[in-house]
Amino acid sequence: MDRHGPAGSRKRATVVAGCVLGAVLIVLSPQFGRAEPSGRYRPPLPPDALTTGCYPLPTGLTIDFPYQVRTDEDLADGRTRRLVLQYDEIDADQARRDLAEALVRAGFTPRARGDVLDYAKPGVGQVRATITPIPRLGDDDLVRGTVELILPKVARTSDAPECLDRFSTKRFAEAEQDR
């Protein structure tokens, strides 16, 4: 008999049984719904609002610097659209130069010089862009500023699910009106 008596034997048996049970659970845990590692630890992101084609930019116009679309909305005048982007990794002067070059490549011609890019294309209309840097940036800050584009209004090109999703299109004002 155990030198600590029956209480010591029960205690030791309980500890051994707990260790055995824990080992069995570890070995069998994959069969009980344990998550399989996928390597994906972020939720799926909606597609880029400008690459879906749901509300396209004027023909030939592409944004050739790192950006993310913040909002896209039709203005009250019924003819124009306001598209707000944040540009990344470059400064305001580079964003201005890159956008001006993209407008020229797309067939737009400058209408005026100044802080606001003002371009037009026959058959399309006027595009204005205001580039605003974010003040007091740190060296590691990714987002460097905003671009506000005033463009001709376009109709939605498709009823595909991504074109109806406000997080894909960034058309939050329309989604609020539909409620």
Element (DSSP H or E) covering residue 99:
helix 92-105
d(CA 72, CA 62): 16
Question: Is the whole-model pTM more than 0.75?
Answer: no
Domain 67-178 has CATH 3.30.310: yes
Query: Where do the domains of the chain lie?
Result: 1-41, 67-178
Q: Quick check: 125 pLDDT over 50?
A: yes
Element (H, E) at 70: strand 67-74
DSSP states of 5-21: -HHHHHHHHHHHHHHHH
**Residues with Cβ within 8 Å of residue 68, at least 6 apart in sequence:** 48, 85, 86, 88
* 71 beta partners: 84
| pLDDT tens profile 30-59 | 666 656 667 767 777 778 889 899 999 999
pLDDT at 45: 75
pLDDT tens-digit series, residues 131-165: 999 998 887 888 999 999 999 999 999 999 999 99
Q: What is the CA radius of gyration of the chain?
A: 29
Q: Report the candidate in 128, 118, 115 with the shortest Cα–Cα distance to residue 84.
A: 128
Q: What is the pLDDT of residues 52-74, one digit of tens each?
A: 999 999 999 999 999 999 999 99
